[in-house]
Structure formats: C-alpha cells, structure tokens
Amino acid sequence: MKSCTLIIFATTLLIASCGKKQETKKAEAEEILTVEVQPVGRKSLSEPIIASGVLSSKSEMKLAFKTGGMIRRIYVQEGQSVKEGQLLAELDLSEIDAQVRQAKLGLEKSERDLERVKKLYADEATTLTNVQDATTGFDVAKQSVQVAEFNQKLSRIYAPTSGRILRKIAEQGELITPFAPAFILGTGESAYIVNVGLADRDVVKVKIGDVATVYLDAYPNEAFQARITQIAQTVNPATGTFEAELQIQPNGKKLISGFVAKAEISTGKGASTLAVPIEALVEADKNTAFVYAYNATNQSVSKISVNVGSIFGSNVAINSGINEGTQIVTKGANFLSDNAKVKINSN
C-alpha cells in the first residue's frame, strides 16, 4: 500500500515538473518581442527653425467687393452651402448707381457733341482737329460707362463656384473698404497648408522641399509631417516677415481651417554627424544613453552605451559609442533587456 502511494506521489511530481517546463518554454516564447531596426547613418543636422501660423485649406477662396461702401444685405450665414452664381451679399448701390447714371449722361452729351462737330466739319465751319477731339471725348465717355457698370456689377458678391461659407468676416450694415475680404469660401476637400512668417535670417536657410514637423493645439500629442511648397520673394509689409507655405499630411485626423499651428522646419544645413531616431534611446541621462544593437546571427540584441549630443527634431546626434551601419532597434526598445531575443517586423 505504501509502495502504491510512493508511486502515485512520484508520478504527480513528474507531471508537475513537466507542466512547469512547458510553462517556462511558453513564457520564453512569449518574451520574444517584435521590433523595428535600422542602420545608424550620418545626417546633416541643424537646429530647426521654429515658426507659428494658422491652418487653412488650399481650396479656400477669399471673396471681396471691388468697391467700398455700406453693406446693404448679406444673404448667407457662416457654414451654409452655396451654389455657383448664388448672390451672397451686396452693397448699398445708391452712390454706385448714381455714378452709372452720371457716366451714361456724359456719354449721351459727348455723342451729341460729336454729331454736332461732324455737321460743322461737313459745312467747313470747323477743323478736323475739333472732330478728332470730339471723337476722343466720346470714346472716353464710353469707357467711363463700362468702368461704372463694371464697378456696379462687382458691388455684389456671387459665389464663383459651389462650396461652403467657412467664415463670414463682414456684417450687414458695416462699412467695408475695397478688396477687404467679406467671406472665405471652401470649394471642397484638398490639401491643408500652414502659412508661417520667417525672419530674413531664417528665410535664406530654407528651400522648397524642406521637411518640417507641425504641431496643432487641437492635437497636442500628434506630430504632422509637412514640406515647404512655396516661399514668398517679398516681405509682408503687415508683419515684416517672409511667408512660407507648408503642406501637411492629415494623419487621418479631422482638420479645420483656423487651427493654431507651430512648425519646426529642418533645413539640413548643419555638419554631418552620426544620428539615431530619438525613440531608439533608452535610460537617457544628460549626455549618456543606451541603444539596443541587433545581432542577426542569433536574433538577439545587445545593450550599448552611447554618448549623445544635441537633439534635432526627431533625431539625436551621437558623439561616440557606436559605429555607422550598426543595426539598432528604433521601435520597441523600451521593452527590451540585454541579450533578449527579438523578431524583426517585416512590414
């Protein structure tokens, strides 16, 4: 009976031991993390240019009156959809209509004067010069009518295309100056841009195609990649800066015109140095940090101490501790330990 009991106990221990070994192997298998790696390379790093601006849509149109005056009527509200050719607003036309009537009366008078001079010339009672002067006066009066009618037409704002009123700047009854925007019309989905003002010492450092990182107050923890698409060749007299246009990638986020933006523009004109992405560093302390170097032979990583320099946007300069071309972990480093087994993300 005792023998049977010992056999049962020994069998139980063996099963438990096998179970623990299987659990240990399973745990070891689960500890193999998937990471991303890239080689250490040299980059031309420089301090980014910091500038601020406001987000806007590339498809926006500013609509204004050509002439100034009192706004008699506004027919649309902010956020309203409009169709091409729809009347949006008009000025008080009392003065403008009077100018049209005055120009037409002047045209009628010059036409009568021209006919009278032609008859006198036919009767040899006047000179050819007088006929030419009267003809010129008639042509000038005709042009004046065209100008007055053109101004009359542009004293109303019509939607040049279908879209949505993104912003109503002026109000009914307000006195507005010529060419001052009254509406901002959005004409559809398109790329979003940020216009930033650069000082003269900064505008000479940038070029079209330079990359930038944009941060929006609406998404404080989200970095949006951007590129310079336009650079002004003259100073903006209102701000004293040179405007640069940055076209940003939306990252699948909802973007709305008017978001406040801060841009960090990388000019890439600094000295060439070894650099790694900032997310590759772990346990950073002042000028010292660690990176994980990948060993393809045994598919493991080694923890290496490096001396770091300045931070340039999303990159960090490396002064010493690692060689160019060494494969380092760029994503997943925070979850690793020395000599840990890893699997490379192939996507």
User: Which residue from 140, 133, 104, 139 is spatially nearest to 118, judged by alpha carbons?
Assistant: 133
Does some domain include residue 144? yes
Question: Model confidence at 73, in pLDDT bands (50, 70, 90)?
Answer: very high
Q: What is the mean pLDDT of the chain?
A: 84
For residues 194 and 249, membership in a common domain is answered with: yes
Does some domain include residue 295? yes
For residues 285 and 218, membership in a common domain is answered with: no
Does some domain include residue 18? no
Does some domain include residue 7? no
Does some domain include residue 275? yes
Arithmetic mean of pLDDT, 310-319: 80
Q: What is the pLDDT of residue 60?
A: 79
Over the stretch 99-114, which tens digit does the pLDDT of each residue have? 999 999 999 999 999 9
* CATH number for the domain harbouring residue 128: 1.10.287.470
Q: Is a pLDDT exceeding 60 seen at residue 20?
A: no
For residues 229 and 259, membership in a common domain is answered with: yes
Does some domain include residue 6? no
* CATH number for the domain harbouring residue 217: 2.40.30.170
Location of structure tokens 């559809």: 188
Q: What is the pLDDT of residue 242?
A: 93
For residues 289 and 320, membership in a common domain is answered with: yes
Does some domain include residue 10? no
Q: What is the pLDDT of residue 205?
A: 85
Q: What is the pLDDT of residue 344?
A: 87
For residues 148 and 167, membership in a common domain is answered with: no
For residues 68 and 177, membership in a common domain is answered with: yes
For residues 245 and 309, membership in a common domain is answered with: no
For residues 177 and 73, membership in a common domain is answered with: yes
Q: What is the pLDDT of residue 9?
A: 43
SS3 at position 315: strand
Over the stretch 324-343, which tens digit does the pLDDT of each residue have? 999 999 888 888 888 888 88
* CATH number for the domain harbouring residue 313: 2.40.420.20
Does some domain include residue 25? no
- Residues 293 and 301: beta-carbon distance below 8 Å: yes
**Measured distance CA(287)–CA(90) in Å, rounded:** 65
DSSP 79: T
For residues 142 and 122, membership in a common domain is answered with: yes
3-state SS string for 268-312: CCCCEEEEEEHHHCEEEECCEEEEEEEECCCCEEEEEEEEEEEEE
Note if the pTM is more than 0.75.
Answer: no
For residues 131 and 166, membership in a common domain is answered with: no
For residues 199 and 312, membership in a common domain is answered with: no
- Residue 128 exposed, middle or buried by CB count within 10 Å (0-12, 13-18, 19+): exposed
Arithmetic mean of pLDDT, 304-316: 83
For residues 171 and 148, membership in a common domain is answered with: no
Q: How many domains are contained in the chain?
A: 4
Location of structure tokens 């494969």: 327
* CATH number for the domain harbouring residue 173: 2.40.50.100
Q: Is a pLDDT exceeding 50 seen at residue 243?
A: yes
- The domain boundary, picked from 215, 246, 265, lies at 265
Domain boundaries, position 132: 94-153
Return contacts of 129-135, CB within 8 angstroms, 24+ apart.
134/110
